[in-house]
Amino acid sequence: YLEFNTEYNVDRLFESTGSKLDRTNGYVPNKRSVFWADSLDYPLIKTPDAADIKYLQSIITLCKKTSTHLVLYSAPIFRYDKHFKNAEADSIIIELAMKNSVRYIDLKMDTAFNDPALFADITHLNRKGSDQFTLTMTGLLERPESLPP
């Protein structure tokens, strides 16, 4: 898990999350629900600023330097177009991926994830949604366009 404005030691990240993921088979349940999603007003997804872009670019550069195949992705968000849509943020990520020849998989509005029964809350998949996400990503990553150049 990576987020903007934070530098991570990737080895330590995997050490700290590894045992928890081992105990849960890679899935930590969330008890929330999306039934109330239409009644709430969510802020837009933050538009990446210069520091955010610099951090992402440094990750891309490090991956290229170490011959690590990098795939960027956006996870499904329930009704992203209604609650979170930020075209500027989307275009910045797409442009950065294209400029660096990095594959970007955008599942924020994927129609396979339109069912609220797949979400624990508006931004987190539940077990059923997580299983579907795994199958979807596996299928996408097996396609030739996801192979490194």
Tell me the pLDDT tens digit for each residue of 24-66: 555 556 555 444 455 555 555 677 888 888 999 999 999 999 9
Pairing of strands 119-121, 124-125: antiparallel
Task: Tell me what the mean pLDDT of segment 122-139 comes to.
Answer: 91
pTM of the predicted model, to two decimals? Answer: 0.70
Could you give the CA distance from residue 96 to residue 22 in angstroms, rounded to a whole number?
33
Specify the 3-state DSSP secondary structure of 119.
strand
